[in-house]
Structure 1
Amino acid sequence: MLQMGDEVTLYTVVFVVVLLASRSPVWTTVLTASLYLFLVMFRFPQAPASRARQVLRPARGAAGSGGVSVVAHRGGGHDAPENTIAAIREASKNGATGVELDLEFSSDGVAILMHDETVDRTTNGSGPLSQMSFSELRKLDPAAKHRLRDKFAGERVPTLEEAVEECIKLQLTIYFDVKGHPDEAAAALKNLFKKHPVLYNSSIVCSFEPKVIYRMRQTDPEVVTALTHRPWSLSRFGDGAPRFSSLWKHHWTTLLDVLLDWAHHHVLWKLCGISAFLIQKNFVSPDYVQYWAQRGVEVVAWTVNTEVEKQYYQEQLQVNYITDSLLEDCDPHY
């Protein structure tokens, strides 16, 4: 829950901004009160703390003195072809506590594992997912462009169901990264949780899109959820380079980034009732971890890919982290 200081700060900022914009005390009071009522009426409470801790701090495979969870990004895309059954198995063999898996859908509505909107980067195929049926995807080779493709020949694009069953068998925590399709994703995940109740205590649903998390909580408020965020994501790429050459577009999206960041930290997390906040590693600090701890929210850092960084997160910050490799240093995937 927000602390009292947060409540006062939030509504004070809204009141002052609206007052300066409208110069109407009446309208300012009405709009600020409306925001308060909206949050009171439509926000979701956080999942029970005991359940969130089981998911985020499982006893199995925890590293470091603080029981830090090490989560394989896309199943550990450096050690095996990303988002495949082979990646899940390799992650378990290499000591991961859990795996982060990307949920997408074929054109005929089958829930599958895939990070991109097209199959070009990871498979021997080409084209958008939205135009490919599951039977067509099943014929592709998801190991085709991986550095260890010879070792993992014969892999197929897995269904969400297949991946979940493998994770349950290996006792891995699952971080479901939902790329979009809030209604379809919520329905698919609800069916999975109904079929495999163990997921309530061994998985978390994450997304960059707050509407996805809100829809998930509407569909099943017992599910542990998280928002994923990278500051300046609208105006800059993951490596920091500007997205737009146009100066006015860059400044406009920078302003939107400021507003989005403020919303994540002061409104959206509370509205969705999240239990964790997944944040790009460069923005994690002891003060930042403490900020969220005071609100009953765990910080998970991504993507942590060097041994020095891993030691820092495990031993100093004692926060969970997501990594592309459990075996060696590698370049980050944003």
Structure 2
Amino acid sequence: MLQLGDEVTLYSLVFVLVLLGTRSTVWTTVLTASLYLFVAVFRFPQVPASRARQVLHPAKGVAGSGKVSVIGHRGGGHDAPENTIAAIREASKNGATGVELDLEFSADGVPILMHDDTVDRTTNGSGPLTQISFSDLNKLDAAAKHRLRDKFSGEKIPTLEEAVEECMKLQLTIYFDVKGHPDEAATALKVLYKKHPVLYNSSIVCSFEPKVIYRMRQSDPEVVTALTHRPWSMSRFGDGVPRFSSPWKHYWMTLLDVLLDWAHHHVLWKLCGISAFLVQKNFVSPDYVQYWAQRGVEVVAWTVNTNVEKEYYQELLQVNYITDSLLEDCEPHY
């Protein structure tokens, strides 16, 4: 929960800004009180800390050190074709605590594993998922563009159900990364949790979109959840290059980035009742970890790929991290 200092700072700031805008103490008081009541009434409480810890720090896995869990990004997309059964198996074999898997949907509504909204980057097919049925997706080679395509040739795009069953068999924690489709994703995951209750203690639902997490909590408030965030994501690519050539558009999106960052750290996390905050590795520090710890939220860093970085997160920060490879010192992935 927000600490007392946070509460005072948050609503004092809102009060001052509204007062400057309206010049009316009455309207300022009403609007500030309305915001307070909205957050108080519609927020979801965090799941019990003991259960969140069970999900975030299970006994399974040898890649980490002590309390640290190591999660294969997209199943460990450097060691095997991303978001495939082969990746899940390789991650387990290489000592991962769990895997991060991307949830998407075929044109006919089948929940599948896929990071992009098209199949072009990872398979021998082409086109958007919204135009490809699952039967056609099942004909594609998910290893076609991978560096180890000869070893994993013919690997299929798995359904969500197939991937979850494999993870449960291997006792891997699952980080469900929901790319969008709040209603469809919440429905599909709710069915999955009811069918496999063990997931309540062995998985977490994550998303860049707060609406996805809020909808998930509405659908099933017992699910452990996390918000994913990269500062400056609206105005810059992962490598820091501006997204827009127009200075005005760049400055406008930068302003929106500031507002979004503020909202994540002061409002959205509490409204959604998250248990973890997944943040891009460049913004994690001991102070930042402590900031969230005081709020009962754990930090998970992504994507940690070099051996030096892995040692930093395991030995110094002692926080969970997501990596493309359990075996190699590889290039950063944005």
TM over 0.5: yes
The CA deviation at 1:17 is 1.0
Instruction: Give the match for residue 146 of structure 1.
Output: 146
Matched, 1:52 2:55: no
Q: SS state of the match for residue 163, structure 1?
A: helix
Query: Could you tell me whether the CA contact under 8 Å between 1:225 and 1:275 is conserved in 2?
Result: yes
Query: Could you tell me whether the CA contact under 8 Å between 2:63 and 2:96 is conserved in 1?
Result: no
The CA deviation at 1:333 is 2.1
Instruction: Give the match for residue 125 of structure 2.
Output: 125
Matched, 1:169 2:194: no
CA distance in 2, matches of 1:281, 1:92: 23
Query: Could you tell me whether the CA contact under 8 Å between 2:124 and 2:145 is conserved in 1?
Result: yes
Q: SS state of the match for residue 295, structure 1?
A: coil
Equivalent residue runs for 1:260-279 within 5 Å: 260-279=260-279
Q: For 2:258, give the aligned amino acid.
A: V
Query: Could you tell me whether the CA contact under 8 Å between 1:62 and 1:68 is conserved in 2?
Result: no
Instruction: Give the match for residue 306 of structure 1.
Output: 306
TM score, norm. by length of structure 1:
0.99
Instruction: Give the match for residue 100 of structure 2.
Output: 100
Q: SS state of the match for residue 216, structure 1?
A: helix
The CA deviation at 1:66 is 4.0
Instruction: Give the match for residue 291 of structure 1.
Output: 291
CA distance in 2, matches of 1:250, 1:244: 6
Q: Between the two proteins, what is the percent identity of the paired residues? A: 87
Instruction: Give the match for residue 71 of structure 2.
Output: 71
The CA deviation at 1:332 is 2.2
Instruction: Give the match for residue 88 of structure 2.
Output: 88
Consecutive unaligned residues of structure 2, counting only runs of 5 or more, are none
Matched, 1:42 2:34: no
1:254-286 deviation per Cα after TM superposition (whole angstroms, max 9, x unaligned): 000000000000000000000000000000000
Instruction: Find runs of 4+ consecutive structure 1 residues off by over 6 angstroms.
Output: none
Query: Could you tell me whether the CA contact under 8 Å between 1:47 and 1:224 is conserved in 2?
Result: yes
Instruction: Give the match for residue 12 of structure 2.
Output: 12
CA distance in 1, matches of 2:18, 2:38: 17
Instruction: Give the match for residue 232 of structure 1.
Output: 232
CA distance in 2, matches of 1:313, 1:137: 38
Instruction: Give the match for residue 202 of structure 2.
Output: 202
1:215-248 deviation per Cα after TM superposition (whole angstroms, max 9, x unaligned): 0000000000000000000000000000000000
Q: For 2:192, give the aligned amino acid.
A: L
Query: Could you tell me whether the CA contact under 8 Å between 2:64 and 2:70 is conserved in 1?
Result: no
Pairwise CA RMSD: 0.8
Consecutive unaligned residues of structure 1, counting only runs of 5 or more, are none
CA distance in 1, matches of 2:38, 2:63: 41
**May I ask how many residue pairs the two structures share in their alignment?**
334
Instruction: Give the match for residue 250 of structure 1.
Output: 250
Equivalent residue runs for 1:186-225 within 5 Å: 186-225=186-225
The CA deviation at 1:23 is 1.5
Instruction: Give the match for residue 181 of structure 1.
Output: 181
Distance 1:58 1:148, change over 3 A: same
TM score, norm. by length of structure 2:
0.99
Equivalent residue runs for 1:321-332 within 5 Å: 321-332=321-332
The CA deviation at 1:64 is 5.1
CA distance in 2, matches of 1:108, 1:246: 39
The CA deviation at 1:62 is 5.2
